[in-house]
């Protein structure tokens, strides 16, 4: 018989910013307030409340796209109003709006430059769009995706709370993040984020094969999910649970192959996203784009090399954090540090890429002050990138390239700031804390430690 859900402490007792914000509703919970059994809410109640409220945040995201919903996604107008979205634009330009299955277009047609699960999701949602004019179909398509994303966010909030049952209010970082308003409706990334988060929950419950299947689907949605696999692998090495990790890794890679191979048999269009990445020049948001903004663009091959070295640097940093003596860090801590490095060293750092940080921020229990500082920089960068792109068409109204550099570097610094805060937090915490996401590694003694002093 499962243990009953345990009551949890109110967030105003743990986070100074939440305590300050609670003044508008009477202030933080008092020292002598009754919060024990019968007085405090268990985690499922918290998860349900936050999941329900998250729909209002997604609704604000729809409102943010209101101008494009009204007049369509036209350049450069969509950039001036910061309402651009890959979803309707790519759906129409790739031929999916004509009912063509992804990756099976005729020779010479534009290749859908999306990983396989993302492409299939875009196609399946499009099947529900009724016939009509181009603008009406775009409106329908984004509206359908808004419903899908609202469900994905609610699921992500619930899964996050379930993953940290002792501190489920941390899931508010997902439910109420300003980032959702800006970028939730820009791409299919939230599908990959949700799949990866469910995979972590399955791993934490020791359902290793199921975790591998879910993580494989996440990798086939966006390659960022590989960071989670690497983080678990490093901690499995430390704890001696390599057999469980091997099962996870093999199942993950097998799932990627299973969902990709059928499309490869009909042509190699499904590899378009990866070919584009391999040969791409530095693009929006990447620090490797800064030289180009000063008139000295880096060669595409060098940018790819730097991006690969970024993955290597992330692996090295993750190994240092995971294998150093002291308290064993959590899966979320190692994954967030590694993901931050991968993001800021990539050939592109689009606004929606930061969505992958959200559940990890919640899982590590970051302070709201740090979250909002980072989100503020993300918001400024979000506006700046669209003004810069629009300015390429109308220079006298847009953001000059050298001014855009400031926002690029500020965003890189903000993401690295999160990584530093998590690293320092991992070093300061005591050895008695358990990682709720450890799964098969939970309670295992250290087998591999690397001393750096």
Q: Given this model, what pLDDT does residue 265 score?
A: 73
Residue 174 has pLDDT above 60, yes or no: yes
User: pLDDT per residue over 396-427, tens digit each?
Assistant: 888 999 999 999 999 999 999 999 999 998 87
Q: Given this model, what pLDDT does residue 313 score?
A: 98
| Tokens (6 digits) for 76 | 């450069």
Please, which pLDDT band fits residue 54 given cuts at 50, 70 and 90?
very high
Per DSSP, the three-state class of 7 is strand
Q: Given this model, what pLDDT does residue 430 score?
A: 57
Tell me what percent of the residues of the chain surpass a pLDDT of 90. Answer: 70
Average pLDDT over residues 319-337: 92
**329 CB-near residues (< 8 Å, 6+ apart):** 235, 321, 322, 426, 435
User: pLDDT per residue over 56-76, tens digit each?
Assistant: 999 999 999 999 999 999 989
Burial of residue 327, with CB atoms counted within 10 A of its CB: 0-12 exposed, 13-18 middle, 19 or more buried: middle
Q: Given this model, what pLDDT does residue 10 score?
A: 58
**Residues 30/364/211/310 CA torsion (nearest 10 deg):** 160
Average pLDDT over residues 43-47: 92
Residue 157 has pLDDT above 50, yes or no: yes
Q: Given this model, what pLDDT does residue 297 score?
A: 92
Q: Given this model, what pLDDT does residue 385 score?
A: 97
CB hemisphere CA count around 227 (13 angstroms): 31
**408 CB-near residues (< 8 Å, 6+ apart):** 285, 286, 287, 289, 290, 349, 381
| Tokens (6 digits) for 263 | 């499309």
CB hemisphere CA count around 161 (13 angstroms): 26
Average pLDDT over residues 22-48: 58
CA distance 98 to 92: 8
Please, which pLDDT band fits residue 394 given cuts at 50, 70 and 90?
confident
| DSSP conformation class of 241 | -
Q: Given this model, what pLDDT does residue 1 score?
A: 38
**70 CB-near residues (< 8 Å, 6+ apart):** none
Q: Given this model, what pLDDT does residue 39 score?
A: 40
Average pLDDT over residues 253-281: 80
Residue 153 has pLDDT above 70, yes or no: yes
Mean of the per-residue pLDDT values of the chain: 87
Average pLDDT over residues 196-218: 97
Average pLDDT over residues 261-270: 73
Q: Given this model, what pLDDT does residue 9 score?
A: 55
User: pLDDT per residue over 71-120, tens digit each?
Assistant: 999 989 999 999 999 999 999 888 888 877 787 754 444 567 889 999 99
Average pLDDT over residues 269-277: 72
Tell me what percent of the residues of the chain surpass a pLDDT of 70. Answer: 87
| Tokens (6 digits) for 425 | 């937090």
Please, which pLDDT band fits residue 6 given cuts at 50, 70 and 90?
very low
Please, which pLDDT band fits residue 391 given cuts at 50, 70 and 90?
very high
Q: Which segment, 14-28, 95-109, 317-331, 430-444, is predicted with the most confidence on average?
A: 317-331
Q: Given this model, what pLDDT does residue 342 score?
A: 97
Other Cβ atoms less than 10 A from the Cβ of 237: the count is 17
Can you give the length of the chain in residues? 453
Q: Given this model, what pLDDT does residue 154 score?
A: 97
């Amino acid at each position: 018989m499962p243990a009953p859900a345990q009551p949890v402490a109110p967030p105003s007792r743990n986070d100074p910013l939440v305590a300050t914000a609670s003044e508008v509703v009477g202030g933080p919970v008092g020292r002598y307030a009754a919060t024990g059994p019968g007085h405090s809410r268990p985690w499922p109640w918290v998860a349900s409340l936050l999941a329900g409220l998250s729909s209002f945040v997604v609704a604000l995201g729809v409102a943010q796209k209101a101008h494009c919903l009204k007049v369509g996604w036209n350049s450069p107008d969509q950039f001036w109003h910061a309402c651009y979205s890959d979803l309707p634009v790519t759906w129409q330009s790739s031929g999916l709006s004509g009912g063509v299955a992804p990756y099976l277009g005729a020779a010479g047609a534009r290749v859908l430059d999306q990983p396989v699960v993302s492409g299939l999701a875009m196609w399946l949602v499009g099947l529900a769009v009724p016939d009509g004019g181009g603008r009406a179909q775009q409106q329908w398509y984004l509206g359908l995706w808004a419903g899908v994303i609202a469900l994905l966010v609610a699921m992500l909030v619930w899964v996050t709370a379930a993953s940290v049952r002792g501190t489920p209010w941390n899931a508010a970082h997902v439910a109420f993040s300003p980032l959702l308003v800006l970028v939730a409706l820009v791409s299919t990334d939230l599908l990959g984020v949700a799949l990866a988060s469910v995979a972590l929950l399955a791993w934490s419950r020791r359902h290793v094969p199921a975790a591998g299947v879910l993580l494989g689907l996440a990798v086939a949605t966006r390659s960022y999910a590989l960071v989670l696999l690497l983080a678990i692998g490093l901690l499995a090495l430390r704890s001696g649970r390599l057999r469980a990790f091997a099962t996870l890794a093999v199942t993950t890679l097998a799932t990627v192959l299973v969902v990709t191979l059928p499309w490869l048999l009909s042509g190699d269009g499904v590899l378009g996203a990866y070919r584009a990445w391999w040969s791409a020049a530095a693009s929006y948001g990447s620090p490797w784009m800064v030289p180009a903004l000063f008139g000295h663009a880096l060669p595409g091959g060098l940018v790819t090399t730097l991006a690969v070295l970024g993955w290597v640097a992330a692996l090295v940093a993750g190994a240092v954090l995971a294998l150093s003596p002291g308290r064993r860090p959590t899966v979320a801590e190692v994954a967030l540090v590694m993901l931050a490095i991968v993001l800021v060293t990539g050939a592109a750092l689009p606004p929606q890429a930061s969505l992958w940080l959200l559940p990890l921020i919640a899982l590590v229990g970051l302070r709201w002050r740090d979250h909002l500082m980072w989100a503020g920089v993300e918001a400024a960068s979000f506006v700046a990138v669209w003004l810069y792109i629009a300015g390429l068409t109308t220079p006298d109204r847009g953001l000059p390239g050298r001014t855009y550099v400031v926002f690029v570097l500020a965003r890189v610094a903000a993401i690295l700031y999160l990584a530093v805060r998590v690293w320092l937090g991992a070093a300061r915490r005591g050895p008695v804390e358990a990682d709720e996401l450890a799964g098969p590694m939970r309670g295992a003694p250290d087998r591999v430690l690397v001393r750096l002093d």
